[in-house]
Amino acid sequence: MKHALPFTLLTLALAAPGGAEEFFTDRIAPLLKQRCFECHSHESGKMKGGLTLDSKPGWAEGGEHGPAILPGAPENSLLVKMVRWTDADHQMPPKEKLPDEEIALLEEWIKRGAPDPRAALVKPPPDADWWSLRPLAAPPVPGAPDPSLTHPIDRFIRARLAGAALSPAPAADARTLIRRVTLDLTGLPPTPAETEAFAKESAASPLGQDGSSPAWLAVVDRLLASPRYGERWARHWLDTIHFADTHGFEHDVHRPNAWRFRDYVIGAFNQDTPWPRFIQEQLAADTLFPADTRLTAALGFLGAGPFDASAEGTAPAAYEYVDRDDLVTQTMGAFVSTTANCARCHAHKFDPITQDDYFSLQAVFAGVGKGNVAYDEDPATTVQRRQWTTVLEASDTIGPLQPEVLLTAENETLVTQWEAAGGGREIWQTLSPDLYTPAINSVLTRLADGSVLSSGPRPDTETYTLTVSSPPREVSALRIDLLTDDSLPLKGPGRLDNGNLHLSGFEAWIFRAGGAAPEKVGFTRALSDFDQAGYAAPTLIDGDPKTSWAIHPRVGEPHHAILKPAAPLTFAEGDRLVIALQQLQGGQHLLGRFRLSATAAPAETLIAVPAAAQAALLTAREQRLPEDRLALAAAVLQERAREELSRLPAQVLVYAASAANQAARGAILKAPQPRTIHILKRGDLDKPGAEAGPGALSAVAALNARFSPADPQNEGQRRAGLAGWIAHRDNPLTWRSAVNRVWHYHFGRGLCDTPSDFGRMGGVPSHPELLDWLAVWFRDEAKGSLKALHRLIVTSATWQQSSALPPPPASAAQPVTTLAPHRGGPDPQGIDPDNRLLWRMNRTRLDADSYRDAVMAASGRLNLTMGGPGIAHYNASPGPQATPVLDYAGFDWEAPAAPRRSIYRVVYRGIADPFMEVLDFPDMGLLSPTRGFSASALQSLTLFNNPFLLGQSTHLAARVAGTAPAPAEPIRQMFQLVLLRYPGAGELEEFTALAQSAGLPAVARVLFNTNEFLFID
Partner 1 sequence: MHPPSSPHRYWNRRQFLNHLGGGFGSAALAGLVARQSAAGAPATAPALPAFAPKVRRVIQLFMNGGASPMDTFDYKPELTRRHGELLGPKDKPEGQTGVSGAVMKSPFAFKQYGQSGRWVSSVFPHQAKWVDEMAFLMAMTSKTNVHGPASYMMNTGFLLPGFPCFGAWVSYALGSLSDNLPDFIVLPDARGLPYNQKANFSAGFLPARHQGTLIQAASPRPVPDLFPPDKFAFAGGGADRQARAVLQKMNRQHLTEHPGDSRLEARIASAELAAKMQLSAPEAFDLATESESTRTAYGVGQAVTDDFGRRCLLARRLIERGTRFVQVWSGPQGAVNNWDNHGNIEAELSPIAASVDQPIAALLGDLKQRGLLEDTLVIWTTEFGRTPFAQGSLGRDHNGGSFVTWLAGAGIKPGIAYGESDEFGGKAMHGITQCYDLHATLLHLMGIDHERLTVRTAGVDRRLTDVHGHVIREILA
Among positions 8, 148, 811, 936, the unique one binding partner 1 when judged by CB under 8 A: 936
**626 to each of 334, 406, 438, how far by Cα in Å?**
60, 12, 44
Choose one: 168-176, 532-540, 693-701, 816-824; the region binding partner 1 (CB under 8 A).
Answer: 816-824
| Nearest-angstrom CA–CA distance, 212 and 207 | 5
- Residue 318 binds partner 1, judged by CB under 8 A: yes
| Nearest-angstrom CA–CA distance, 892 and 951 | 10
| Nearest-angstrom CA–CA distance, 399 and 630 | 13
Which among 728, 687, 736 is positioned nearest to 707, based on CA atoms?
728
Choose one: 72-80, 265-273, 586-594, 943-951; the region binding partner 1 (CB under 8 A).
Answer: 943-951
Cβ at position 937, least distance to partner 1 in Å? 4
Cβ at position 896, least distance to partner 1 in Å? 20
What are the residues whose beta carbons fall under 8 Å from the beta carbon of 415, sequence distance 6 or more?
632, 633, 636, 637
Buried b (16+ CB within 10 A) or exposed e, 800-821: bbbbebbebeeeeeeeeeebbe
| Nearest-angstrom CA–CA distance, 271 and 286 | 20
- Residue 894 binds partner 1, judged by CB under 8 A: no
Among positions 396, 914, 969, 988, the unique one binding partner 1 when judged by CB under 8 A: 914
- Residue 967 binds partner 1, judged by CB under 8 A: no
| Nearest-angstrom CA–CA distance, 349 and 47 | 12
Cβ at position 348, least distance to partner 1 in Å? 8
CB–CB of 362/328 below 8 Å?
A: yes
The nearer residue to partner 1, 494 or 806, going by C-beta atoms, is 806
Cβ at position 1002, least distance to partner 1 in Å? 4
Among positions 9, 533, 618, 926, the unique one binding partner 1 when judged by CB under 8 A: 926
Q: What is the DSSP letter of 781?
A: I
The nearer residue to partner 1, 398 or 889, going by C-beta atoms, is 889
Q: Which amino acid is at 604?
A: E
The nearer residue to partner 1, 172 or 536, going by C-beta atoms, is 172
**535 to each of 513, 547, 595, 646, 906, how far by Cα in Å?**
37, 7, 20, 19, 43
Residue 800: which H helix or E strand, with range? none
Choose one: 97-105, 228-236, 540-548, 904-912; the region binding partner 1 (CB under 8 A).
Answer: 904-912
Between 834 and 863, how does the x/- string for binding to partner 1 read (CB under 8 A)? --------xxxx------------------
Choose one: 150-158, 418-426, 858-866, 917-925; the region binding partner 1 (CB under 8 A).
Answer: 917-925
Among positions 308, 357, 529, 575, the unique one binding partner 1 when judged by CB under 8 A: 308
- Residue 816 binds partner 1, judged by CB under 8 A: yes
Among positions 71, 211, 759, 765, the unique one binding partner 1 when judged by CB under 8 A: 759
Please write down the HEC assignment for all residues of 823-874: CCCCCHHHHCCCCCCCCCCCCEECCHHHHHHHHHHHHCCCECCCCCCCECCC
Parallel, antiparallel, or unpaired for β 523-528 and 559-565? antiparallel
Partnered with residue 591 across adjacent β-strands are 494
Among positions 393, 519, 894, 1012, the unique one binding partner 1 when judged by CB under 8 A: 1012
Choose one: 161-169, 276-284, 453-461, 748-756; the region binding partner 1 (CB under 8 A).
Answer: 748-756
Which among 355, 385, 969 is positioned nearest to 652, based on CA atoms?
385
- Residue 753 binds partner 1, judged by CB under 8 A: yes
Cβ at position 51, least distance to partner 1 in Å? 14
| Nearest-angstrom CA–CA distance, 508 and 580 | 6
CB–CB of 326/306 below 8 Å?
A: yes
CB–CB of 98/3 below 8 Å?
A: no
Between 987 and 1006, how does the x/- string for binding to partner 1 read (CB under 8 A)? x--xx-xx--xxxxxx--xx
Cβ at position 351, least distance to partner 1 in Å? 8
Touching partner 1, residues 326-365 (CB under 8 A): 326, 329, 333, 339, 342, 350-351
The nearer residue to partner 1, 87 or 486, going by C-beta atoms, is 87
Question: Please, is 486 exposed, middle or buried when counting C-beta atoms within 10 Å of its C-beta (0-12, 13-18, 19+)?
Answer: exposed
Q: What is the DSSP letter of 294?
A: G
- Residue 804 binds partner 1, judged by CB under 8 A: yes
- Residue 130 binds partner 1, judged by CB under 8 A: no
Among positions 910, 972, 974, 976, the unique one binding partner 1 when judged by CB under 8 A: 910
Touching partner 1, residues 590-629 (CB under 8 A): none
Among positions 939, 958, 963, 966, the unique one binding partner 1 when judged by CB under 8 A: 939
- Residue 315 binds partner 1, judged by CB under 8 A: yes
Residue 209 φ/ψ region, left for φ over 0, alpha for ψ in the -120 to 50 degree band, beta for the rest: alpha
Choose one: 436-444, 571-579, 706-714, 751-759; the region binding partner 1 (CB under 8 A).
Answer: 751-759
Q: Which amino acid is at 979?
A: L
Touching partner 1, residues 708-747 (CB under 8 A): 744
Touching partner 1, residues 91-110 (CB under 8 A): 94-95
- Residue 417 binds partner 1, judged by CB under 8 A: no
**162 to each of 149, 156, 166, 268, 800, how far by Cα in Å?**
14, 10, 6, 40, 18
- Residue 454 binds partner 1, judged by CB under 8 A: no
Question: Please, is 335 exposed, middle or buried when counting C-beta atoms within 10 Å of its C-beta (0-12, 13-18, 19+)?
Answer: buried
Q: What are φ and ψ of residue 422, in 5° steps?
A: 100, 5
- Residue 700 binds partner 1, judged by CB under 8 A: no
- Residue 306 binds partner 1, judged by CB under 8 A: yes
Among positions 263, 757, 832, 853, the unique one binding partner 1 when judged by CB under 8 A: 757
The nearer residue to partner 1, 311 or 637, going by C-beta atoms, is 311
| Nearest-angstrom CA–CA distance, 703 and 712 | 19
Cβ at position 701, least distance to partner 1 in Å? 21
Among positions 718, 791, 909, 972, the unique one binding partner 1 when judged by CB under 8 A: 909
Among positions 58, 63, 276, 762, the unique one binding partner 1 when judged by CB under 8 A: 762
Cβ at position 672, least distance to partner 1 in Å? 23
CB–CB of 510/571 below 8 Å?
A: yes
The nearer residue to partner 1, 623 or 811, going by C-beta atoms, is 811
CB atoms under 10 Å from CB of 343, counted, come to 24
Cβ at position 921, least distance to partner 1 in Å? 8
Among positions 16, 165, 567, 941, the unique one binding partner 1 when judged by CB under 8 A: 941
- Residue 918 binds partner 1, judged by CB under 8 A: yes
Cα torsion angle, 677, 679, 685, 688, sign: negative
The distance of Cα 637 from the centroid of its chain, to the nearest Å, equals 39
The nearer residue to partner 1, 131 or 350, going by C-beta atoms, is 350
Choose one: 241-249, 435-443, 572-580, 767-775; the region binding partner 1 (CB under 8 A).
Answer: 241-249
Partnered with residue 462 across adjacent β-strands are 583
Secondary structure (3-state) at 767:
coil
Among positions 883, 902, 973, 976, the unique one binding partner 1 when judged by CB under 8 A: 883
Among positions 1, 710, 812, 937, the unique one binding partner 1 when judged by CB under 8 A: 937
The distance of Cα 591 from the centroid of its chain, to the nearest Å, equals 52
Choose one: 562-570, 689-697, 730-738, 936-944; the region binding partner 1 (CB under 8 A).
Answer: 936-944
| Nearest-angstrom CA–CA distance, 529 and 91 | 83
The nearer residue to partner 1, 867 or 999, going by C-beta atoms, is 999
Touching partner 1, residues 43-102 (CB under 8 A): 87-89, 94-95
